[in-house]
Structure 1
């Protein structure tokens, strides 16, 4: 796009803004009418374990949001000589699930409890049995019910329960609304009505009757909307929160806020039945749009929905890239100790490519990158481990290959249920996330680990913020009765090319050997839970 055309687009509000609060960064991207990114801003952050809960500082939520937007606005001003004053539509996304509760004055009752917490085992089990529907530990209703079981004093004062994306949307609009994809990680959805399941709502209210709270679950949950439905407008207070400089005009239409699962579906055009996508970051999860209900409840598979409300099977591992990043940091420190300037992107490129020269089975090395609990493998406490024997072939290439294999191992264990037990098959999986930035490496390892062709689009590293901007664009620019699936296929992805990598026979065989050792060695990770 030329600078002149881009400037006209910005000045006339022919843009859409997507904001995503991910596990390690907050990102804001602005797209034009051709869905191309014309500006972006990033704020890096990290969760902390505070009083037994993984959380983020409440002030940093707002500060990070403002900094990401400030960088975006500055880039737009510098690049196009245009103030970011008029925006066509806005959408907010964030890491799925977790627990945010507000009182009647809008104050947080407890610090944000993220998806990473595994502190709700009793609630998860009780609700799964009562509902006859899998309720994962990270879901908002599990956090709420566990707080009830624990007799936490804040529960009686709850006015609103939501997710991080819903909280940001409320700050910007004053509306207690959530997109159906993220809402399906709070409480089960009725697939026909596209709303919270009324039968299960009644069951939950019955479960807590004796507590005599001044609210019912219906009172405190957000309103559920599907993609394309109007979800309020940026109010004056929200405009000043997002842009303290005062330039941004209020009144911008906002689409339903979504979780990173929904934005991943959009960003990879994996919204039709029998399509799948994989998102790689602090956590790793694969989503498959289901053609039919699964034959039974699986502890490893969660049922959520697309932003349009269609059922999705999700396999989520809590741990993925955090341990890889920690090892990269160690090599960076060594680099600097040698008196050399450490370029982080160069370190990733060199070490990832080095991994591809290692033994296909990693030379007998093992890694468990468990910074937090891992429900699929039954690990309740995060204890990152690197394991080898005296006979292992310990070198740099095998070390890095081991960490890359480990990043996909838990996901593969969960996927074996779909492929072996449910007999599901997929022509390919679309991938996105920062791990795929190094050309050829992450994609090749992923294909071998999951034994399925992996598709990567040019937008793969942009991830959910771009996907959220697309959802905001859909709200503003869709035709009457145009579905999101049609909008994506005919407009957003009609000219976009993807690169498909098929599983390499030697890599697949090596990963299979590694996975056998990985499963066999899980007792080591289990024993490490007692280490303090």
Structure 2
């Protein structure tokens, strides 16, 4: 412990803070990049006038509470005040729309990735660029605001993501890591910067509107992993730690999106590796060795934090409906006067699912809290459906809800793996779905018919991933590539558990997914009639 204490006092640490959908998490790592302390803050997006958003106050009170929680953990474990760290990094949910005027004032409330309000813009830009521009991308939000003739557009001086916003306020730098940037506008994989040709097409498209800006002028500067992205200012230090104990001057790495930090946290930034991040939303990413043959609206093209091309399948829904059902069981238990440990409850119900039929006994679940553009839905209605003769028992019920958490992901990944024949040697899983050992992992292996590994550090997630990117910036050798650094300095000798797909489960999941695709008109009817 004394070694860790002196390491903290000497500032030989790296701190990563990530804004997830339901939790802000901080992870402090030591010189060996292993976590030594953590902090967190629970938060929820709100539906305000039909827009999924977080207020600026939510962001800052959440960040301060998360940091305070970390500082308390450091004090409790090592009896030392946290006054400095060696390097710092911020990451957050990608995409969305945060726009500011010349005075730095926010022009409209933050429109998060969860909003599916930009269908016309996404379609038109996809056709213009011949490149898939999903609805949640910042560029689609910007163009939709233009199509809607929103008054604020003429006043935009800066557009960024949540991570870019936090970084800007704490360092004064309007920059963004290339991975997060690749969820705003297309990136040129050769220059690892904005695709100039597509930006020019966008400017030409909106030129008749006479706005006083060109799109590149209002976008952040793109940086790749390892580059310096500024330092924590005096004002920034007070924003992060209102007690005033945290010192300014800490070097900060490029702010990244949760896709990039997920890649770092699972050591899947090398070509032919892939990872699946499964929490409130779920996305799969595969680092490509060659370009895809066709443009697919179901597949997003993003990059690793180092700028390598990545094919991504992103789904808006994953565990929200599953968690809602688990909470029903909690209420049931409490109605009988039982005190329930949530970890035990999740573990028991998840393991029960493994006893179910491979095809869930004919049960069908749709976990759509929000819309799912991959299968053509702007709105969600969580539904559970069964035939009178379906095998309705607890095991099949839980299995159907676990299958449902990955159902849209499978539709997209089948395009990548079966149609495009993308080569992937192994998928690494991380996020809340994998916390119960072996359950989410076996179901993902069945869904993708690919071996799935889960590292011991999988629960650390994106906050650990951004801490690693901060550490890489501060500690890498002169020409050391990110994938080499992660192999040698982070994951060397680290054990993970690998699970091969069970052929019976693969067949069962395929039956389930065919039923899912055939019965999507039920979901369509629900969105049209349940208002």
Residue 370 (str. 1) matches residue 371 (str. 2): no
Q: Distance in 2 between matches of 1:366 and 1:201?
A: 43
Q: How does 1:71-86 map to 2 (within 5 A)?
A: 71-86=69-84
Secondary structure of 1:462's aligned partner: helix
- Alpha-carbon displacement from aligned partner over 1:448-494 (angstroms, at most 9, x marks no partner): 11111001100111110000000000011011111111101111111
TM-score of the superposition, structure 1-length normalised? 0.99
Runs of 4+ in structure 1 displaced over 4 angstroms?
A: none
Aligned partner of 1:516 among 506, 514, 517: 514
**1:281 positional shift:** 0.7
1:433 aligned partner: 431
Secondary structure of 1:461's aligned partner: helix
Q: Point out the more displaced range, 88-97 or 513-522.
A: 513-522
Secondary structure of 1:208's aligned partner: helix
**1:391 positional shift:** 0.6
- Alpha-carbon displacement from aligned partner over 1:64-100 (angstroms, at most 9, x marks no partner): 1111110000010111011100110000000111111
**1:22 positional shift:** 0.5
1:7 aligned partner: 5
1:404 aligned partner: 402
**1:373 positional shift:** 0.4
Q: Which runs of 5+ in 1 are unaligned?
A: none
Secondary structure of 2:374's aligned partner: coil
Secondary structure of 1:380's aligned partner: strand
Residue 87 (str. 1) matches residue 100 (str. 2): no
Q: Distance in 2 between matches of 1:343 and 1:156?
A: 52
**1:425 positional shift:** 3.0
Q: Distance in 2 between matches of 1:8 and 1:14?
A: 9
Q: How does 1:84-483 map to 2 (within 5 A)?
A: 84-483=82-481
**1:45 positional shift:** 1.1
Q: Point out the more displaced range, 239-248 or 506-515.
A: 506-515
- Alpha-carbon displacement from aligned partner over 1:225-278 (angstroms, at most 9, x marks no partner): 000000000001110011011100000000000000000110111111111111
Q: CA RMSD in A?
A: 0.9
Contact 2:288 2:422 in 1 (8 A): no
**1:333 positional shift:** 1.1
Q: Distance in 2 between matches of 1:319 and 1:153?
A: 32
Q: Which runs of 5+ in 2 are unaligned?
A: none
Secondary structure of 2:313's aligned partner: strand
Q: Distance in 1 between matches of 2:308 and 2:34?
A: 27
Secondary structure of 1:249's aligned partner: coil
Q: Distance in 2 between matches of 1:116 and 1:397?
A: 31
Q: Distance in 2 between matches of 1:362 and 1:83?
A: 52
Q: How does 1:24-103 map to 2 (within 5 A)?
A: 24-103=22-101
Secondary structure of 1:224's aligned partner: strand
Secondary structure of 1:376's aligned partner: helix
**1:426 positional shift:** 1.9
Q: Distance in 1 between matches of 2:513 and 2:453?
A: 23
Q: Distance in 2 between matches of 1:338 and 1:444?
A: 33
Q: Distance in 1 between matches of 2:518 and 2:191?
A: 45
Secondary structure of 1:414's aligned partner: helix
Q: Distance in 1 between matches of 2:125 and 2:510?
A: 35
**1:146 positional shift:** 0.1
